[in-house]
Chain A
Amino acid sequence: EDQVTQSPEALRLQEGESSSLNCSYTVSGLRGLFWYRQDPGKGPEFLFTLYSAGEEKEKERLKATLTKKESFLHITAPKPEDSATYLCAVRFQKLVFGTGTRLLVSP
């Protein structure tokens, strides 16, 4: 069964304290890995798409990387406004979502 696992479930950082979120998956014909940001009470908002191992994408303080079995979302010098739940999804025949990492950045 195709599965997507995100870790940690929750992460608390001080402002400026860099860290990484992990998304691992079992492969059965990967056709793209996606990262989304979700704020409370809102729908997920697209961040990145990664298609092949070795690929990297950056946006402001976020950088997503992909290997054959996992992806990392690196957050450099985070700010309180980066606090959100970060969802990873992998497309096999349909999108399969992880349970997310709740990130809280304190000033």
Chain B
Amino acid sequence: DGGITQSPKYLFRKEGQNVTLSCEQNLNHDAMYWYRQDPGQGLRLIYYSQIVNDFQKGDIAEGYSVSREKKESFPLTVTSAQKNPTAFYLCASTDGLGQGYYGYTFGSGTRLTVV
């Protein structure tokens, strides 16, 4: 079955440490997105990519970095510069520059906690 796989499901980060969240899709979608979800707030866009080797900052990109070397993969690195990284992170994808009928297809999320 086609879908988006996020790993790990739970991740713990120590102060000053960089961590990378994985996102892989086998839907042949062009566009991929990273969102952050905090209690009481809507999904906020971190980064997005509409084509391989190209990506754009979203609304809250500071302290995060991404790469898009393959169509299927869009990993997110949470750097030590992100001062409040504890949140639920969601990866999503869509086809044809966001024209998909279903909006976005989401992964199951990664919960990141600072320890």
User: Are the chains A and B members of one assembly?
Assistant: yes
Query: When chains A and B are docked, how far (Å) is the Cα of A105 from the Cα of B113?
Result: 30
Q: Which residues of B sit under 8 angstroms from A97, Cβ to Cβ? A: 35, 42-43
Interface string of A67-106 (1 = CB under 8 A from B): 0000000000000000000010101001111111000000
Query: When chains A and B are docked, how far (Å) is the Cα of A89 from the Cα of B43?
Result: 10
Say yes or no: is B41 at the interface (Cβ < 8 Å to chain A): yes
> Interface segment, B12-20, B69-77, B78-86, B101-109?
B101-109
Q: How large is the interface on A (under 10, 10 to 19, 20 to 34, 35 or more residues)?
A: 20 to 34
| Pair A46/B41 contact, Cβ less than 8 Å | no
When A and B form their complex, what is the total count of cross-chain residue pairs whose Cβ atoms lie within 8 Å?
53
Which of B43, B102, B111 counts the most chain A CB atoms within 10 A? B43
**B42 is contacted by which of A32, A45, A91, A98 (Cβ under 8 Å)?**
A98
| Pair A42/B101 contact, Cβ less than 8 Å | no
| Pair A41/B42 contact, Cβ less than 8 Å | no
Say yes or no: is B2 at the interface (Cβ < 8 Å to chain A): no
Interface residues in B62-98 by Cβ distance below 8 A to A read 88, 90, 92, 98
Q: Which residues of A sit under 8 angstroms from B101, Cβ to Cβ? A: 49
Q: A91-B98, A94-B98 are in contact. Are A100 and B108 (CB under 8 A)?
A: no
Q: A34-B103, A91-B103, A95-B104 are in contact. Are A44 and B90 (CB under 8 A)?
A: yes
Extra 19 A-B pairs, beta carbons < 8 Å, given A43-B108, A91-B103, A95-B98: A9-B40, A36-B103, A36-B106, A41-B109, A42-B109, A43-B4, A43-B109, A44-B43, A44-B90, A44-B106, A45-B106, A46-B102, A94-B33, A94-B45, A95-B103, A95-B104, A97-B42, A97-B43, A99-B41
